[in-house]
Amino acid sequence: MANKLELTFRLDLQLTEVMRLRVQSLQQRGQRRQDGERLLQPNEAVYRLDFSKQALRFSHWTVRLAQTGCLTIVATSQLWTPDLTNLMTRQLLEPAGVFWRAPRDTSETQIKCYEADAHEFGERIAELAKVRKVMYFLFAFTEGCSPETVDCSITFTVDR
C-alpha cells in the first residue's frame, strides 16, 4: 500500500503584506518596478507549502471552492528568496494551476481545471520538493473567488 502525503497550502500573511508594502512604496514614491519585477496584484496572496518529505510523486489536487469563481496558482522557482529579493517574472513556473466553479455549477459539481496543466504543475512541484523544504505560490482570486472561500491541498505518494 502506497504511503500518501497530503499538504495543505497555507496563507503566508507576513510575506503577502511585505509584497503589498513594496507596491505601496513604489506608488508613494512615484517609482516604477524594476525591469522584470513581478508585483503582487490586489487579488493575489502568497501561500506556502512546507515539505516534511523530499522523495515525492504527484498524486492529485484537492481544491474546494465554496462559491463561483476562479483560482489560479503559480509556483515560484527555487531561486526566489522572499526575505531578500523582489520576485522576478522569470522566477515563476509554467504551467499554472487553474481551477474554477462556473455560475451554473452546483455545490456537488466537481471543480473544473485544465487537467494536463494541473497534472504537469503537480509533477513540477514534486520535482522541486526533492531540493526544497519550502515552496511559495501566488494565488490569484477572480470572478468571486476569495481566500475565505478556497481550500486547497496537493497529495503526493511518498517514495521509499
Q: Which has more pLDDT, 80 or 4?
A: 4
DSSP 118: H
pLDDT grade for 2, boundaries at 50, 70 and 90? low
Total number of domains in the chain: 1
Residues forming beta bridges with residue 154, ordered by sequence position: 7, 61
Q: What is the pLDDT of residues 62-119, one digit of tens each?
A: 999 998 999 999 999 866 777 777 888 988 999 999 999 998 888 788 899 999 999 9
> What is the structure's pLDDT at 6?
96
For residue 108, the model assigns a pLDDT of 81
Span 53-61, average pLDDT: 94
Provide the domain limits for residue 10: 4-158
CATH code, 153: 2.60.120.390
Query: Which is more confidently placed, 83 or 33?
Result: 33
How is residue 96 written as a grid cell?
499554472
SS3 call for 54: coil
- Judge if the upstream peptide bond of residue 95 is cis by omega within 30 degrees of 0: yes
Instruction: Indicate the pTM of the whole model.
Output: 0.92
pLDDT at 146: 93
